[in-house]
Structure 1
Amino acid sequence: MNAGSKLSRPILDQAAIKEICDVLATTNSQVAFRSIAEEEAADLAVFLLILHHTSDELAKHASEILLALSPEKQAVVAEHVVKIEMADIDEVKAITHRIVAQITEAAEKMIAFGDGKVNLINMLSDMSQEDRGSLLESLELNNEDLVTEINQTLFPFDDLTKLDDDAIGTIINYLGTPTLSVALHNVSPEVQNKFFDVMDSESADAIKSKFDELSFTEKQTALTAQQSIIDLVQRLAAKGFIKVSS
């Protein structure tokens, strides 16, 4: 907390401060933030100000709450924070008590499952490669970006070194020199050699020579090229053409 930011006289007694600290520390942040998201911006500003000026611990919670609001709500609340330089003590206490009560009530009525994407990835990790691939293929029809993110988590590009030579050879058969050149130009020697060792020397030399010829624009698309290879790996594995460790 910045020097001089504490109130000249405390508004909340120690019991009230402890209650707020306990509630915010023990309530899942998603539950807490959602329970007060529809609060009037002016009241939220008062609540954040009282947190900010009461203790270092509560000041951190104030920043977290402000950041958790929608961008539009953040802006409105921030404007109120700037405008409010003083407030009626009884009103401040009432607002604080009401919001804390809302958070407490929400904590008793709601359960938080956490990050939905993480939950899905954990479920997918317990599936066979074939079942996982079938599900992701269906999901990709409606949400291609989500499938890309999931594939990046389940199978980072460096994990290609874990595939056997037959799998790498199968992957190479589906890819052209341009894609391989862009995808491999900035990765570790271990990943590069995993491909080069399976290729004939002429093909490997062609890709290596292409590294120095890549334009700035081509180099900027390396992540896209790498992801296209990961997506290919997942599709081939789902169809049983290659084996990927779960």
Structure 2
Amino acid sequence: MPAAAKDDLRSLTGPEKAACMMLALGEEHGATLWKMFDDDEIKEISQAMANLGRVSSGLIEKLIVEFATQLNSQGSVVGSFESTERLLSRSLPKDRVSQIMDEIRGPAGRTMWDKLGNVNEMVLATYLKNEYPQTVAVVLSKIKPEHAARVLASLPEDFALEVVNRMLKMEAVQKDILDKVEQTLRVEFMSNLARTTRRDSHEMIAEIFNNLDRQTESRFITSLEERNRESAEKIKALMFTFEDLSKLDPGGIQTLLRAIEKDKLGLALKGASDTLRDLFFSNMSERAANILREDMEAMGPVRLRDVDEAQMMMVQIAKDLAAKGEILLADAKAGDELVY
């Protein structure tokens, strides 16, 4: 079922209103206006446009009145990355369009330094460790202290100490140097990041399959194995299942236990392997484990669908905790550490 079109003028931000108007103007009439915007304005409007979705013709009419123009509404419009790129291509050079689209597909932010604040610290540290310490010092001085701290902790220790020394001795950075660092980040880092972080289709399907009940998931995987075994194996390797929780360390298990409702935990463990069930029991006090065992016995037979839902809920909570850095999930298939 298609998402409802936006129709409330008060809910739109300034950039979203501008994006609606540019979409309504279309490629031919909007070309002259695009040329009059500076790069930051184009990026801000493009970001809003790419995430706009459907906009009702009624809202377009309200915008026309608000802007006091004589534009005739073209009906509902749809904003997407593809339509945004196509529209920009009609009025801007190809390399400029590519740069703008790479940036709006990458981490969101008004300026380069805002964008860096949305980049995972390990990703940023991996890039910066190959730069000059003075360059890294400039970058860390421009991003938020809490993010800079995480990046610094992810750098090799000797290199990080050299960066700290440079920061201690650093005076006001000249504008031309700052502009050069920003341009380098824009060309060498952000554009590559946008291209390399676009979601792999196997990763997307694996996440969808993780949210299927066990029988449906098995049916899809079996059918896929018959048609495309290579893709099926990639998807299975990317999936994080309930049984993969056995790879959590004791601290992770205890953190997860504190976040799970006890009735849901009992329901999920009813369908768990003996190994995983014993792992959870061994990380509880003897009294708590005995109470949980009694509660599980008192449940009697339970529906497989209810067990699946409880297990999927536990997996999702584990992923949320991992995203916050409170636990570390590991890929049971590859043995590599994964942070979701």
Q: TM-score range by the shorter chain?
A: 0.3 to 0.5
Question: Which structure has the greater CA radius of gyration?
Answer: 1
TM-score (norm 1): 0.41
Higher relative contact order (CA 8 A, sep 6+): 1
